[in-house]
Chain A
Amino acid sequence: MILLQAVVIALRQMLKNPLRAALTTLGVMIGVAAVIAMVILGRGATADIQGQLAGLGQNLLFISPGQPGMGGPTRGAAHAFADGDADVIAKSVQGLRAVAAVTGSPVRVVRAGASWSTAAVGVTEDYLVAMKWQIRSGRPLTDEDQRTGAAVCLVGETTRQELFGAEDALGKELRINGAVVRVVGILKAKGRAATGMDPDDTMMVPLSFMHRRIVGNDDVSSIIASAVDGEDTSRIQEDIIALLRERRHVGPDEDADFFVRDMKEIEQMVGAITGVLSSFLAAVAAISLLVGGIGIMNIMLVAVSERTREIGLRLALGARARDVMLQFLVEAMVLSTVGGLAGIVVGLLGAWGATRQFGIPLVVDGPVLLLPMAFSVVIGVVFGFLPARQAARLRPIEALRHES
């Protein structure tokens, strides 16, 4: 029998009982929609984060103590960098534009009538250059601030908004963990990331101030180096490693107690994390597709039982077992395909709504839509197989005599 004919019969069967067909396809539709929405959202979030990282440029190097974990943060206790490490790197390694020492600390910032918890970073003056921060109003941190440990700060847009609202923040005083600091500059907003990362929820103080008045030691928790455009970052990376091994007295056979990552590695790391997350979400969504498939199997078994006499008649009129099998398989496939098509539409709409809501780019390509679609067709075949085989195994006389 011709495939097309089977499809026509299948569509007609669906029209004969539209409510049943709609409910059956609903399961597959939800599954496909969920998979598509999850994958699109995952990709959008990844693209968003990568866009932000790309905004920092390709020539950044992040130097951290300890040893790199499996794509996660540092692992193992390792002593921090010393105060002079950043300066030595800046002086000894060729091809660097800026080298900043950084020590971060969560802080509570209080101002008359308002308080805000944020991440404060104690930084040397190169930090703004390296991380491409710009000053909207006021002035950056200076060498002078650094030497004197001046009680001054720069505030990110979110922090400013939370503490000052419509007021002008410049020149005002804040208390950070009890120490009084004066706002000398306001940072230009970088914009909130879809993933909830908000780079503007920050404030910067001179590293020396951070050491003396907030953390109470002189540890440098990381060093950020920015290469001059066109310089070979892997060469610079090697130079830094050699220099720091010497300064930190790492023997030639020992593993370094620090590591250097460039932006490519960080992008890969972030990509791996978001990749795992979105595949996990898609896998959960795929389970609902499976449940939809079981719904199809269920309804096809009912259909075979209801249409036993029809099957008997078709066999008597010359249908072969395989013709009957094909017909019921096609019916299951048509159900799942219709569900899959509806799922594409609903999934796209859902993903579109969610990406707008979160401000993530909508990343859609063929495979995102076609794979769940193909999967739903496969679901139709797999879950249609048992009912179809049951139909094909009917003996013509018994099927004809069947009382339905």
Chain B
Amino acid sequence: MSADGAGGAAATGDGLICFEQVTKVYGQGTGAVRALAGIDLRIGAGEFVALMGPSGSGKSTTLQIMGCLDVPTAGSSFFRGLDTATLGGDDLSLLRRNYLGFVFQGFHLLARTSALENVELPLVYRGISTGKRRIMARTALAAVGLSGVEHHLPSELSGGEQQRVAIARALVSEPSVVLADEPTGNLDSGRATEIMEILATLNRQRGITIVMVTHEPDMAVYARRIVRFKDGLIVEDKTNEAPTSLRPPRAVAVSP
């Protein structure tokens, strides 16, 4: 099965994200914790990958290193062919700014700041003019079905709506990769399904690469590839032949 996964990555192009023997150790001396014990992983453009595993298995660390928020202790992680360990803090910031979008379990919206302005935030760092930012943020909110709440504060929105605002913020800068860390962890199953549908649609329609950490098998089935972690190692890497979100469109496509 893992061979199929690797084959899928190769088929979709050069490795957008490529881990070679990545090790991550937190702390030093006797208190040191090894979060990743040397993993190899390739993710190609356009993939939808779920990272699964128990707490402390290394999946979140993997996501952080993919997101250029952290660098490996040993081994190499490449993003778009660049070895992130050789890059400085500013270069990593520029990679995040230009190619990456993040969705967090806790939403991480700025309080007392409207939905629209929260979505605009990544564009500020790209130096995009206020007027253009407004338009782009409105479009992104519309894409997640949130037209009409532009001027609501996060505290006036439900959890599911807040996470959709966060997704709009992740995709407003037209990233090549969206990294989602337990995006449905704080939501009930109905809202969780909505979020997963949105992520699956982004992947399918816009070709955005999505890497998602999740505990929940119900959510992982939306992905086309599932990588399982245990004790800092990858124990399984398989292709999901029938991703959940692909069923209805297929059914529609087949019926005529």
Binding site for B on A (CB under 8 A): 1-2, 5, 16, 309-310, 312-323, 395-397, 400
**Which residues of B (95-119) have their CB < 8 Å from a CB of A?**
96-98, 100, 102, 104, 108, 110, 112
Contact present for A1 and B125 (CB under 8 Å): yes
Query: Is B90 within 8 A of A317, CB to CB?
Result: no
Q: List 23 A-B contacts (CB under 8 A).
A: A16-B112, A309-B108, A312-B108, A314-B121, A315-B69, A315-B93, A316-B108, A317-B96, A317-B102, A317-B122, A317-B169, A318-B93, A318-B100, A318-B122, A318-B126, A318-B173, A319-B97, A320-B89, A320-B90, A320-B93, A320-B125, A323-B125, A400-B104
Docked CA distance A16–B112 (Å): 8
* CB closest chain-B residue, reference A309: B108
Chain B residue with the shortest CB-CB distance to A4: B130
Interface residue B70 (Cβ < 8 Å from any Cβ of A): yes
- Cβ proximity bits B123-142 to A, threshold 8 Å, 1 near / 0 not: 01111000000000000000
A59 to B100, CA, bound (A): 82
- With contacts A400-B104, A400-B108 taken as known, whether A319 is within 8 angstroms of B70 at the C-beta atoms is no
Cβ-closest chain A residue relative to B181: A400
Q: Taking each of B69, B102, B112, B122, which has the highest tally of chain A beta carbons within 10 Å of its own beta carbon?
A: B69
- Is chain A's interface secondary structure helix, strand, loop, or mixed overall? helix
- Determine the chain A residues whose CB is within 8 A of the CB of B126 once the complex forms: 318
B64 within 8 Å of A by Cβ? yes
Assess A316 versus B90: contact at CB under 8 Å? Given A1-B125, A310-B110, A323-B125. Answer: no
B171 to chain A, nearest CB (A): 12
Q: Does B154 contact A (CB under 8 A)?
A: no
Residues in chain A near residue B93, CB distance under 8 A? 315, 318-321, 323
Establish whether residues A317 and B64, one from each chain, have CB atoms under 8 Å apart when the complex forms.
no
Inter-chain contacts of B173 with A (CB < 8 A): 318
A396 to B89, CA, bound (A): 10
B133: min CB distance to chain A, Å: 10
Which A residue's beta carbon lies closest to that of B89?
A321
Q: Is the CB of B90 within 8 A of A318?
A: no
Are A313 and B96 in touch, CB under 8 angstroms?
A: no
Partner of A317, one of B70, B89, B125, B127: B125
User: Quick check: A1 and B127 within 8 Å, CB to CB?
Assistant: yes
Best-surrounded residue of B96, B126, B169 (most CB of chain A within 10 A):
B96
Residues in chain A near residue B112, CB distance under 8 A: 16
* Residue numbers in B under 8 Å from A323 (CB-CB): 93, 125
**What is the bound-complex CA distance between A310 and B113, given in angstroms?**
12
CB-CB contacts below 8 Å: B62-114 with A: 64, 67, 69-70, 89-90, 93-94, 96-98, 100, 102, 104, 108, 110, 112
In the bound complex, CA of A395 to CA of B108 (Å): 16
Question: In the complex, are the beta carbons of A1 and B124 less than 8 A apart?
Answer: yes
How many angstroms between the C-alpha atoms of A317 and B94 in the bound complex? 9
Determine the residue in chain A with the shortest Cβ distance to B125.
A318
Task: Tell me whether B110 and A317 are in contact (CB under 8 A).
Answer: no
Cross-chain contact of B127 among A2, A315, A396 (Cβ < 8 A): A2
Contact with A along B165-183 (1 / 0, CB 8 A): 0000100010000000000
Cα A309 to Cα B125 with chains together (Å): 17
A313–B69 touching, CB < 8 Å = no
CB-nearest residue of chain B to A401: B106
Q: What 1/0 mask marks residues of chain B from 52 to 70 whose CB sits below 8 Å from any chain A CB?
A: 0000000000001001011
Cα(A323)–Cα(B93), bound, Å: 10
Known A2-B124, A317-B125, A318-B93; further 4 A-B contacts with Cβ < 8 A: A317-B122, A322-B90, A395-B70, A400-B108
Minimal beta-carbon separation of A295 from chain B (angstroms): 24
Which chain B residues border A321 with CB–CB below 8 Å?
89-90, 93
